A and B are shown apart, each in its own frame.
Chain A
Amino acid sequence: MADLTAVLGPLQLPNPVLVASGTFGYGEEYGTYIDLNRLGGIMVKGTTLHPRRGNRPPRIVETPAGLLNSVGLQNPGVDAVISEELPKLKELKCPVIVNIAGSTVDEYAQVAARLDGHPTVAALEINVSCPNVNEGGMAFGTDPAMVREVVQAVRGSTDLPLICKLSPNVGDIVQVAEAAVEAGAQILSLINTVLGMSIDVGTRRPTLTNVFGGLSGPAIRPIAVRMVWEVYQALRVPIIGMGGIASGRDALEFILAGAGAVAVGSANFTDPGVCLKIIRELEEYIEAQGLDGLSSLVGAAHP
């Protein structure tokens, strides 16, 4: 069988197909449908210092080939994640990556410090798409200077491999990517959801109580592929690509654009078996092409 091992800087994955944060809980629920040990890795739900209630429903609206969500980072807080959730993931064969979030730089640093050295955690993924309460609610990820500050603070709080998850809601993704790498991120993941909105013409009000939501699913795939391409071209750093992946072909697009691994989010809702299907399709592709592994394909679409 083809060897699908993926090496991203300090992080080694058994195969390049991870599940994206917030779409897969802590894995438990999907464990009924698939063997979680066969995944390339699990990126668990966004974790904050204190518990978060999340936004008022409705939190989801279907859009063409995708959906808008406004969950609002509902989570039990880092202490409960450490005491309740991570122990359940201990026996898992695939790496567990914890996605961390905050409303101040210090909050990110504190969450990272509590997770530092945890034996079940293979890496931290910093979600910079959150509003910075000290900057009038502007998302950290929209400003290279704020991204630098967050990543530096987290870097100072942990020795775990660091992934910075970039927001697509920016003018120049390369600038933000550069800031994250300079501040100590060893891997970049992209993209988070695209800011969007839907209006209910019946009630003449925004469909989501939160007004805006994050767009995900196949609808955003071309945006995500373009951004992976741009970042790889400029920086040649290890990248986890995501945004609308639902098949092996989709995953290959990201890999050819420069991603060493991919993450699958919303497509799990439609098909809980989709990740295993994607892994199988990647294996078939490698065998059909007579390749040893995936590494020669990473970024291969670049001239």
Chain B
Amino acid sequence: MLTTVRKNTMLTDRIYRLTLSAPQVAADAQPGQFVHVRTVPPTSWDPFLRRPLSIHDCSREEGIIALLYEVVGRGTTLLSRLRPGDEVDLLGPLGRGFTLVPDRRPVLVGGGLGLAPLLFLARRLREARQRPVVLVGCRRGSDVVAIDDFAALDCKVEVATEDGSLGCKGMVTTLAEKHLECEDAVYACGPRPMLAAIAGLCRGAGALLQVSLEEKMGCGIGACLVCACPTPKGYARVCTDGPVFWAEEVDLRG
């Protein structure tokens, strides 16, 4: 599906926010779902694969979605060169998103760019009259983005940085240890070791946990089986059975 670039804003030296006119995606999207983005025009086959990116924000009324991405390789470098008016081919919304848990305090935990899907989630939680606590962990203060957007939704935001240059010094797990309560519904996205640590904390506290996982993808729609994630019942497909799983469904050490 062809979408049109509205804005492609550089937020830090490596992190960009891409805003796209995509009414159909915006109408159907659920928080935690992703889009599969072609980084080159339809006539080019190199880079060959699409890139999975979480839906960072979404406005049904305006028919726009936003993606928050870090430039790490060829595909994201190509995305960073997009200008307003350019066309971007994407598939989506794809995958299983977060289940909004009623009557429990939502705690959103994002490690690094794992923060990406949480803004859209916070927006939908606010629409459901819940008030999320957002815990953000980054390496340095200069990597911390989108905080103001959460604050604008009237979320309570806590930041941890590994070098202590912003918020408290430490990891997002340090914040989670401090803030988690047993009746919480926790929504987490970030590196696998972080998710495993959060899962340990949630088990200890009796909190419900959903995790959003990353795995390299081919088709993105469930057909090729390359995006395998170990579960007690064999491999699940991150692209269609996930990317969001209940923590008990998956083996986070694998």
Contact = CB atoms under 8 A, between A and B. Distances in A.
Interface of A: 22-25, 29-30, 32-33, 45, 53-67, 69, 71, 74, 217-218, 246, 266-272
B193 to A, nearest CB: 15
20 contacts: A23-B219, A32-B221, A33-B91, A53-B235, A54-B225, A56-B254, A57-B254, A58-B215, A59-B225, A59-B228, A60-B216, A63-B48, A69-B226, A74-B235, A217-B45, A218-B48, A266-B48, A269-B49, A269-B219, A271-B42
B234 interface: yes
A29 B223 contact: yes
A29 B227 CA distance: 15
Interface residues on B, range: 20 to 34
A159 B168 CA distance: 71
A94 B234 CA distance: 32
Contacts of B216: 57-61
Given A62-B47, A246-B45, A269-B49, A71 B225 contact: yes
Point out which of B49, B50, B234 has the most chain A C-beta atoms below 10 A from its C-beta.
B49
Contact of B218 (A54, A55, A65, A67): A67
A29 B223 CA distance: 6
B234 A53 contact: yes
Given A67-B49, A217-B45, A269-B49, A25 B218 contact: no
B218 A74 contact: no
B49 A270 contact: yes
Given A53-B234, A57-B215, A217-B48, A269 B220 contact: yes
Given A268-B219, A269-B219, A25 B48 contact: no
Given A61-B216, A270-B49, 20 more contacts: A23-B218, A25-B225, A45-B225, A53-B234, A56-B228, A57-B227, A59-B226, A60-B218, A65-B48, A69-B226, A71-B225, A71-B226, A74-B225, A268-B223, A269-B48, A269-B50, A271-B38, A272-B91, A272-B219, A272-B221
Contact of B50 (A54, A58, A270): A270
A60 B49 CA distance: 11
Interface string B214-249: 011111111111111110001100001000000000
B46 interface: yes
Contact of A74 (B42, B215, B228): B228
The 7 A-B residue pairs with the shortest CB-CB distance in the complex, in nearest-first order: A25-B223, A60-B226, A29-B223, A65-B46, A59-B226, A29-B222, A269-B219
Contacts, number: 103
Contacts of B45: 65, 217-218, 246, 267, 270
B235 A54 contact: yes
A270 B38 contact: yes
A5 B182 CA distance: 65
B224 A22 contact: yes
Point out which of A29, A53, A54 has the most chain B C-beta atoms below 10 A from its C-beta.
A29
A57 B228 contact: yes
Contacts of B230: 56-57
B46 A269 contact: no
A29 B228 contact: no
A63 B218 CA distance: 12
Contacts of A56: 228, 230, 254
Contacts of A217: 45, 48
Interface in B29-52: 38, 42, 45-50
A67 B227 CA distance: 14
B179 to A, nearest CB: 32
A53 B232 CA distance: 12
Contacts of B218: 23, 60, 67, 69, 266, 269
Contact of A62 (B49, B219, B221): B49
B151 to A, nearest CB: 35
B140 to A, nearest CB: 20
Contact of A24 (B91, B223, B240): B223
A67 B234 contact: no
Contacts of A62: 47-49
